[in-house]
Amino acid sequence: MWIEIYKYLFNFYLFFLLLNICGYSAAIFLGGKKFIPILLYLMGALMAETGTYLIREDIITIFGEVTNAPFNTLFLTIQFLSFSYFYKTNIKNIWFQKYFYIIFCMISVIAYSIYIIDLNTFMTHNPWLSFITLPFLLLLSTVYFYDLLKGEKGYIFINIGIYMVTSSTLIFLSSATFYENINYDLLLIKKSLHITPILLLHTLLFYQIYLSFNKRKETVIVVK
């Protein structure tokens, strides 16, 4: 049963991923430049899923090894950069704008120091990058919530989705040791629970772009 549930959730996620890539590409083409980092995130997710599929089907290998770790590292990097840029261009907090680059550079140095010290880390699933970058993104999301609560205009549904994914991923990473040597059904339950907030993120991304197009349509009607 759980394998069917997981497959259903995963296919639904892929559907929204492709749909959002089309939607955000169209929005950017029509002038929505603030959606560029979200499109970059979506393209990174598509790249990671494509790479994982090619490796799982024995179509490609990475330096002779059957691992999708480099794709995961690249995706986490794209996620870190794209969401950071999204918040940099949308958060109005004066303190944040003043110290953003200093904090961003410090986080980057700490996050990638392990890869500089040992390049072989790229070939392993090391949680270090997630443990360093995700709390930073969670902090940015919280600051953005504060801006929105003060009445600033923004993209609340995108922010809710990012907050859910970053917080839930941190919880799963922190409890990873509890999933060692578990049976296959429990592993599927874990994977299903993990993909659910990701699916919710993409659902909220779709709803946000729908609202954007709807607002644009109303503006065009008013102008006419």
Helix (H, G, I), strand (E, B) or coil at 30: coil
Contacts made by residues 7-16, CB under 8 angstroms, sequence distance 24+ = 9/192, 9/195, 9/196, 9/199, 10/195, 12/199, 13/195, 13/198, 13/199, 13/202, 14/49, 16/199, 16/202, 16/203, 16/205, 16/206
Q: Where are the alpha helices (DSSP H) in 30-127?
A: 36-56, 69-90, 94-117
Tell me the HSE value of 204 on the side-chain side, using a 13 A CA sphere: 18
Helix (H, G, I), strand (E, B) or coil at 81: helix
pLDDT in tens for each of the 224 residues of the chain? 778 888 899 999 999 999 999 999 999 999 889 999 999 999 999 999 999 999 988 888 888 888 889 999 999 999 999 999 999 999 988 888 889 999 999 999 999 999 989 888 888 888 899 999 999 999 999 999 999 998 888 999 999 999 999 999 988 887 666 656 677 777 778 888 889 999 999 999 999 999 998 887 654 444 34
Residues with Cβ within 8 Å of 44's Cβ and at least 6 positions away in sequence, in order, are: 74, 75, 78, 79, 82
CB 119 within 8 A of CB 172: no
The pLDDT value given to residue 121: 86
The pLDDT value given to residue 179: 59
Q: How far apart are CA 194 and CA 86, in angstroms?
A: 24
Instruction: Give the total number of structural domains in the chain.
Output: 1
**Does the global pTM surpass 0.85?**
yes
Domain that holds residue 84: 2-223
The amino acid present at 136, given as its one-letter code, is F
Residues with Cβ within 8 Å of 187's Cβ and at least 6 positions away in sequence, in order, are: 179
